[in-house]
Amino acid sequence: MTQTPSAEPSPARALHAQGVTKRFGAITALSSGRISVGKGEIHALLGANGCGKSTLCKIIAGTVSRDGGTLEIDGRPADLKSPREAEALGVALFYQELSLVPQLSVADNIFLGHEPRNAAGFVDRRRLIADTEVLIARFSAVAGSGFAAGTNVSRLSPDQRQIVEILKVLARNPSIIIFDEATAALDKRQVDLFFSILRTLKAEGVAIIFISHRMDEVFEIADRITVMRNGETVAEYGAGEVDRDTVVHDMVGKLADHQREARPPRPAGETPRLVVSSVSGGRLRDVSFSVAPGEILGLGGLQGQGQSAILQGLFGAEPFARGEVSVDGRPVRLRRPADAIRAGLAYVSGDRGRDAALHGRSIFENIAAATLVSERRRFVWPSALKPRFEKAAAGLNTKYAGMEAPIGSLSGGNQQKIFIARWLATDASILLLDDPTKGIDLGAKGDFFELARDLAAKGTSIVFYASEDAELLGLCDRILVFNSGAVTAELSGDTRDAFHLTRAAYGETA
């Protein structure tokens, strides 16, 4: 018997998407997405952060509607209008940001929309629990404590939630499964078990798309690999016929070196403004670094590896369990945001809605919020503060009708500038930026980066996390790469480029 090499996709196509395009307002998330997966094939989808992998997956799963291109499922054109329709065709998606309802139990989440019913149409609770326990049993050895069918999802740890999302996908008995960064929070033993499940599914003929952080995983499990870059599919090969450097080069492209902006070299022997030593807690494992006055430090790596946790810890929103922080040589205790504000730290998040905006309040009140805390003000004379705020906001080239206009009347980018103005008015010496440009348009992004550079030039220290690599490379003097809550590489000088950043993010030493 002769074995044909695995270079060609298997003839039984489960899924074929071609020329898929998608825009969100001014942002082009996909310019030409293509992926083709055979039955019983594990297909890795790779690409730098923000290149459109999740968007392509959501289009296949019916959550996001495509603007153009074709999609075929089991050889038939599919025009999906909702996740429901995709599910009816056998497609199930593990959502990168999870699709679990925190208020519901593990069992309710896993079988949501597919509850076992008795003849009268009531939920058959006994079978619901029994079926859930059968599923949980597959992970029982590695799931940790407090993981039961009746537990509320809000009380589970991040890895346990990922396991629930995996089980929820499996419970649907799909014929096409997409795992969008399903192993992000899992440890080695959990990943091994997950892979053994993938191999079983593969043997059953299920088509699997697998997006992962880690090159090792990809080469361990994948049959074929598709690489995306800037919203476009740029390469496809069999996993056996390619090496890692080729894959990383395809992910990064030839543009890599042009993206790097010249930053003046840092003077040697500066005294650091912010020193973080051995902080741990939550997702973080023993993180240390320091930032000099006027320096822009980037936090890179794949999403959710602890970058936001560091920034929120520094801001006192999610205090560290262990470790020390000092500002200008003085140790500080950061147990709540007010501590951080008084120590001269400022925090701007991309989740404006959740973290920062005082909805329905005026621009004035939104700017004032931080000043009132940092100066321990109890009484406020608006007339005295207003000129100060107007000066801070004017420096940002922000368009607004007036200080009294509601915050909601501004575009996302201008809102973001108002939050920066909030901190400029407090004279913060350290600015923490937590993926600040999420969902704002390109022009506003440019202004925003201009502002950050100006502030750094005036001596403000900036710690910057971005989910898009190009932003990090464009702005930062130095980049720390995070993986699983620890710093795994530091890039500066010659190594501060897209190639090294991608390679380090995907788990290889830079």
Partner 1 sequence: MSALRDSLRGRVWLVTLAALVTLFLVNLALQPNLLTPNVLKSNLTVFLPLVLVAIGQTYVILGGDIDLSVGSIVALVNVVTVSVIAMTGGETGGILLGIAAGILTGLACGLFNGVLIAILRFQPIVTTFATGIIFGGLALRVLPTAGLPVPAGYWRTYAGNVLGIPTVLWIFVFALLAIAFIARRPFLTHLMATGGLRTAAFQTGLRVGPIRIGAYMLSGLFSAFAALCLTGETASGDPLMGRLLALSSISAVVLGGTALAGGRGSAFGSLLGALVIGMISNVIFFAAIPFEYQTLTTGLITLLALAGGVLVSRR
Ligand X SMILES: Nc1ncnc2c1ncn2[C@@H]1O[C@H](COP(=O)(O)OP(=O)(O)O)[C@@H](O)[C@H]1O
Contact footprint for partner 1 (CB under 8 A): 61, 63, 82-84, 87, 93, 95, 98-104, 108, 112-113, 115, 117, 121-123, 152, 168
303 vs 415, beta carbon nearer Mg ion = 303
Q: Indicate which of partner 1, ligand X, Mg ion, none lies near residue 47 (CB less than 5 to 8 Å, by partner kind).
A: ligand X
Instruction: State the Cα angle at 103 between 101 and 107, rounded to 5°.
Output: 70
Tell me whether residue 319 or residue 507 sits nearer to ligand X (CB atom). Answer: 507
Work out how close the CB of 302 gets to ligand X at its nearest, in angstroms, rounded to a whole number: 9
Question: Does the footprint of Mg ion cover residue 502 (CB under 5 A)?
Answer: no
Could you tell me the smallest distance in angstroms from the CB atom of residue 180 to Mg ion?
6
CB-nearer residue toward ligand X: 41 or 181: 181
Give the shortest CB-83-to-partner 1 separation in angstroms.
5
Tell the smallest beta-carbon distance from residue 31 to ligand X (Å). Answer: 11
Stretch in the footprint of Mg ion (CB under 5 A) among 27-35, 47-55, 368-376, 467-475: 47-55
Q: Is 96 in the site for Mg ion (CB under 5 A)?
A: yes
CA separation for the pair 36, 47 (Å, rounded): 16
Indicate which of ligand X, partner 1, Mg ion, none lies near residue 104 (CB less than 5 to 8 Å, by partner kind). Answer: partner 1
Q: How far is the CB of 53 from Mg ion (least distance, A)?
A: 5
Contact (CB, 8 A) for 460 and 294: yes
Secondary structure letter of residue 117 according to DSSP: B
d(CA 201, CA 40): 7
Instruction: Print the binding letters for residues 439-468 with ligand X: x by CB under 6 A, - otherwise.
Output: x-----------------------------
Phi and psi at residue 28, to the nearest 5° = -95, 110
Cβ(231)–Cβ(32) below 8 Å: yes
Could you tell me the smallest distance in angstroms from the CB atom of residue 292 to Mg ion?
33
Give the range of 92-100, 104-112, 272-280, 410-418 binding Mg ion by CB under 5 A.
92-100
**What part of residues 21-60 is at the interface with ligand X (CB under 6 A)?**
24, 27, 29, 47, 49-55
Matching residue, tokens 């406020």: 380
Which helix (DSSP H) or strand (DSSP E) does residue 424 occupy?
A: helix 412-424
For ligand X, the closer of residues 39 and 503 by Cβ is: 503
The least distance separating partner 1 from the CB of residue 171, rounded to whole angstroms, comes to: 11
Helix (H, G, I), strand (E, B) or coil at 75: coil
Q: Two tokens at 65?
A: 């509607």
The only residue of 21, 54, 212, 307 in contact with Mg ion, by rule CB under 5 A: 54
Closest to partner 1 by CB, 99 or 495: 99
Closest listed residue to residue 462, CA positions, set 495, 429, 496:
429
* Long-range contacts from 21-28, C-beta under 8 angstroms, 24+ separation: 21/66, 21/67, 21/68, 21/69, 22/52, 22/55, 22/59, 22/64, 22/66, 22/67, 23/67, 24/439, 25/441, 26/441, 26/442, 27/439, 27/441, 27/442, 28/231
CA-nearest of 306, 286, 322, 302 to 485 is: 306
Residue with Cβ nearer partner 1 (83 or 304): 83
Residue 350 per-residue DSSP state: S
Rounded CA separation 194/191 (Å): 5
Nearest residue (CB) to partner 1, 80 versus 418: 80
Length of the chain: 510
Residue number, 274 or 302, with CB nearest to Mg ion: 302
The minimum distance between CB 140 and Mg ion, in angstroms, equals 29
CB-based contact 34:18 (threshold 8 Å): yes
Q: Fill in the DSSP letter of residue 219.
A: H
CB of 81 to partner 1, least distance (A): 12
**Contact status: 436 vs ligand X (CB under 6 A):** no
**Residue whose CB is less far from ligand X, 54 or 308:** 54
Q: Kindly report the CA angle at 482 between 479 and 486, in degrees rounded to 5?
A: 125
To Mg ion, the closest distance from the beta carbon of 472 in angstroms equals 16
Binding map of ligand X across residues 86-115, x = CB under 6 A, - = no contact: ------------------------------
User: Interface residues with ligand X (CB under 6 A)?
Assistant: 24, 27, 29, 47, 49-55, 439
